[in-house]
Chain A
Amino acid sequence: MRDVAIIGVKNTKFGELWDRSFRDVVVEAGAGAVSDAGVVGEKIDAMFVGNMSGGQFVEQEHIGALIADYSGLAKNLHVPSTRVEAACASGGLALRQGIYAVASGMDDIVIAAGAEKMTDVPSPKASSALAAAADREWEGIMGATFPGLYAMIARMHMHKYGTTSEQLAQVAVKNHQNGQHNPIAQYKSKITVDSVLKSIMVADPLHIFDCSPITDGASAVVLAPADIAHEYTDTPIYVKATAQASDTIALHDRRDITTLDASVAAGKRAYEMAKVQPKDIDLVEVHDCFTIAEICAIEDLGFAKKGEGGILTQNGETAIGGKIPVNTSGGLKSCGHPVGATGVKQAVEIVEQLRGEAGKRQVDGAEIGMTHNVGGSGATAVVHIFSRDR
């Protein structure tokens, strides 16, 4: 297997992009990443596009071909393009497929992108589309919503470990603090624990400020074999591990409601592949679709003991300057969560950090970074580890 590097990255603005279409945002991200890498179209061997639900959000399937077409890579160059879907982990999985393609030796220059256009439908319709990431037949039909499923995780976490609503709120406050320095972030406003606790209740104990928003946006990276990465950039960022794991589709079938076993398994596989431990990781982008999800993630990935994620957050150890900075991009909460794009956006953030280009969000001396992307309530987890050194 060949070593793989990221040689170019680009995020579009994340937010309610009323004036932009699905294809507009993906092409902007893809072209931006290619331009960042200094690659010409003729060199591109393949592309992978993470997208959860073009069918429900913009009534468009056949996303791979559409994007190849509007990127100018279809009609003359006939570049193969594949859409990848794993609910909210679609982006992370598209990146993983791209890494496979390069690592295998089949392809050299590969684009891994992710995109979602969620605001072309009314919010209830968007929520309903997202609910398809859970078990429609045995959760959705009983009136389960995504906030509802994560609320049940939160309730159990509070019951078992004494985690508090204030600790959950601190996740949101910290992520907004980081997001205000991210030019692409959807919400750049500072919030307080009090404002989170006073925001409307969506699914008890989760308030609206415990939830990531509905977002439009796209992200892309360009992958190359590590051996030729320096032909394109002075600062290639190397892929040290790519890992994925599955768990039951329904929350009620899990071994433990407060642990995402798929995150644990994917994390373990990634640490083994990269030959590193949690203490070696300088920063991590985790899947904070809800505040409780970040607390579970930092426990499941080994940054806190089970049950102590809330305390780690409360003590400021997950902020920039803390023991393990979490979600320097602002996370899904503040940066926004265009579901198919998120997994790729996390990688873009880590690349910018490891290059030392993250501005006011910069983690000093960051050498090794991790991303953690979850599908549904934890049925898919995708974990990557990146490094400045090969």
Chain B
Amino acid sequence: MIIMSVPRFWRKQIARYNLVGTQCKKCGEKFYPPRNMCPKCRRDGEIEEYKFSGKGEVVTYTVIHTAAEGFEGQTPYVLGIIKLEEGPSLTSQIICDAENVKIGMKVKPVFRKLGQDGERGMIYYGTKFVPESTDKC
């Protein structure tokens, strides 16, 4: 199963690896995932890169038992919406025991393998999250 083609993944590699999004200089709103058009200022906006701290909290979550194609080996896994301290929210996996995850739990980012195209294909890396209190990094 090919999760995503190489150029499509590579194009957003920095954003995925380092939580680099964008912000609109005009209104100050920050975007992750990155946007090139500010929904508030639209064509009047001025977009530039913005590196997020990665600190945030869990807005909501689920424990996935029936996996998406390519994620079968990872079940059960915790998927959540994380609200970053700078404002925007994103979807990512939370690495912790299912019974320990809570709405409002503080989290921090970790660099992790997302998946792999078969035995010899590309390995995808990106940002997942762990509880802020753990020593994992």
Which residues on A are within 8 Å of B, measured CB to CB? Answer: 124-125, 127-128, 131, 135-145, 147-148, 151-153, 155-156, 159, 200-206, 250-253, 257
Contacts and interface: CB of A to CB of B under 8 A. Distances in A.
A204 B93 contact: no
Residue in B60, B80, B89 whose Cβ sees the most chain A Cβ within 10 Å? B60
Contacts of A206: 62
Given A137-B33, A141-B124, A125 B69 contact: yes
Given A156-B59, A257-B59, A257-B60, A144 B69 contact: no
Contacts of A128: 1, 68-69
B53 interface: no
Interface string B46-76: 0000000000000111111111110100100
A253 B31 CA distance: 10
B114 A251 contact: no
A137 to B, nearest CB: 7
Nearest to B80: A152
B59 A203 contact: no
Nearest to A139: B91
Given A138-B33, A145-B66, A151-B64, 17 more contacts: A136-B4, A137-B12, A137-B33, A138-B90, A141-B4, A142-B79, A142-B93, A143-B74, A156-B59, A159-B60, A159-B103, A200-B65, A203-B65, A204-B63, A250-B91, A253-B88, A257-B60
Main secondary structure, interface of B, reads strand
B3 to A, nearest CB: 6
B45 interface: no
B90 A203 contact: no
Contacts of A251: 81, 91
Contacts of A147: 64, 66
Given A142-B92, A142-B114, A250-B91, A152 B69 contact: no
A156 B33 contact: no
Contact of B68 (A138, A143, A156, A257): A143
A156 B60 contact: yes
A202 B66 contact: yes
Contacts of B98: 204
A140 B64 CA distance: 13
B114 A252 contact: no
Contacts of A151: 62, 64
